[in-house]
Amino acid sequence: DLLQEVFVHALRDLPKLSDPNALGGWLNAIAVNLARRTIRKRTRWRWLRPAPPEELSAVPVDGHDENGSEELVAVYRILGAMHADERIAFALRFIEGMELKEVAAACDVSLATIKRRLARAESFFKEHAKADPALQERLAKSEGRQK
């Protein structure tokens, strides 16, 4: 749904695009703004509705986790607790693999601002991952490789 909405907005606003070479960054900015709006709306109304069944069934009932679904649920839980702007920056940088300048452009902020957001998001993520049994082992391995 969100992807379709991005293209609806893009088609509607296409006459506003002054530089055709900037199409990729322009689409990224539209996607980020719509994602931010959606995240904020969900956060605001989350308490009114129960979690969807697909979220509840992600963790195996028997506790055995062959494919990392417990880790994935833990990651989503941590991301869900982050401030929307930090979550978007974190996802663009570490999940989508965008360069810092691309993330800053997509979020329509300065490079310094995106660095601050990413530092806060990374700190938040590590702090919560250390406290989550599903992520402790992977985080320890990751930190061991960085040394």
Per-residue pLDDT reduced to its tens digit, 85-138: 999 999 999 988 889 999 999 898 999 999 999 999 999 999 999 999 888 888
Per-residue pLDDT reduced to its tens digit, 48-82: 444 554 554 444 444 545 556 888 889 889 999 99
pTM of the entire structure? 0.62
Give long-range contacts, CB 8 A cutoff, 24+ apart: 78-86: 78/124, 78/125, 78/128, 78/129, 78/132, 78/135, 79/125, 81/124, 81/128, 82/121, 82/124, 82/125, 83/120, 84/36, 84/39, 84/40, 84/43, 85/36, 85/117, 86/117, 86/118, 86/120, 86/121, 86/124
The pLDDT of residue 57 is 47
- For the chain, the structural domain boundaries read 1-49, 52-147
Q: Which amino acid is at 102?
A: E
The pLDDT of residue 110 is 97
The pLDDT of residue 25 is 86
Per-residue pLDDT reduced to its tens digit, 8-54: 888 898 888 889 888 888 888 888 888 878 877 765 544 444 455 45
CATH architecture entry for 52-147: Orthogonal Bundle (1.10)
The pLDDT of residue 147 is 55
